[in-house]
Amino acid sequence: MKTKLLLAAALAGCLSGLGAQQFPMQIDRLAAQASDKIDVSLSGSLLQFAAKFLDDNDPDDAKVRKLIAGLEGIYVKSYSFKNANVWTQADLETIRRSLRAPEWSRIVNVTGDDGTSEIYVRMVEKKPAGVAILAAEPKELTIVNIAGSIDLASLSEMGGHFNIPKIPEKKE
């Protein structure tokens, strides 16, 4: 797999939040063709409401509470397709158009034969205010928009939270 990597900043680190952000995440054409769709939209008030039902005696819930403490919103759209090559570069450009400078900066871009993965950081008054993830695989397209303060390193450790197994570390 040829991998082209552009790394502009470290992946881990805390980002302080200053305001919620929204960008167009719906691609109607893909939604119509998807065999499976996930659409989660949790604004600030809904996040706070959900947090009230977290169980502090449960270690997993406690981790979630800590992770979302500075969040102002989390939005996920994920489309799965029966066949490959349903999404196109034009679809990705539709998303990328909303994630441009000066407000957004792409800090990670991994491109290979099995798709593209990108992470963007939103800056407000020269301070980080949110994260967007664009993950395009042959039979799946996922867009994540996280508004507010989030620790990406802690987030990547959260896999396996709701009894969905973690992605295992590749063994040497």
Judged by the rule CB under 8 A, the positions of this chain that interact with another protein are 1, 3, 5, 7, 11, 36, 38, 40, 42, 46-47, 49-55, 57-60, 64, 67-68, 74-76, 78, 80, 108, 110, 112-114, 117, 119, 133, 135, 138-139, 142, 144, 146, 152, 155-159, 161-171
Q: Which is nearer to another protein, 89 or 156 (CB)?
A: 156
Among the listed residues 90, 81, 82, the one whose alpha carbon sits nearest the alpha carbon of residue 141: 81
Sort residue 30 into left (φ over 0), alpha (ψ -120 to 50) or beta: alpha
Q: Which is nearer to another protein, 75 or 104 (CB)?
A: 75
And the tokens for 45? 């008030």
Report whether 17 contacts 148 (CB < 8 A): yes
Peptide bond into 102 cis (omega under 30): yes
Cα–Cα distance, 109 to 72 (Å, whole number)? 25
The CB-of-59 to another protein minimum distance in angstroms stands at 8
The CB-of-42 to another protein minimum distance in angstroms stands at 6
Q: Which is nearer to another protein, 18 or 145 (CB)?
A: 145
Q: Which is nearer to another protein, 12 or 100 (CB)?
A: 12
CA 166, 12, 124: angle at the middle one, nearest 5? 125
The CB-of-20 to another protein minimum distance in angstroms stands at 15
The CB-of-96 to another protein minimum distance in angstroms stands at 16
DSSP per-residue letters across 41-91: EEEHHHHHHHHTT--TTSHHHHHHHHHTTTEEEEEEEEEE-SSSS-S-HHH
Q: Which is nearer to another protein, 83 or 126 (CB)?
A: 83
The CB-of-111 to another protein minimum distance in angstroms stands at 10
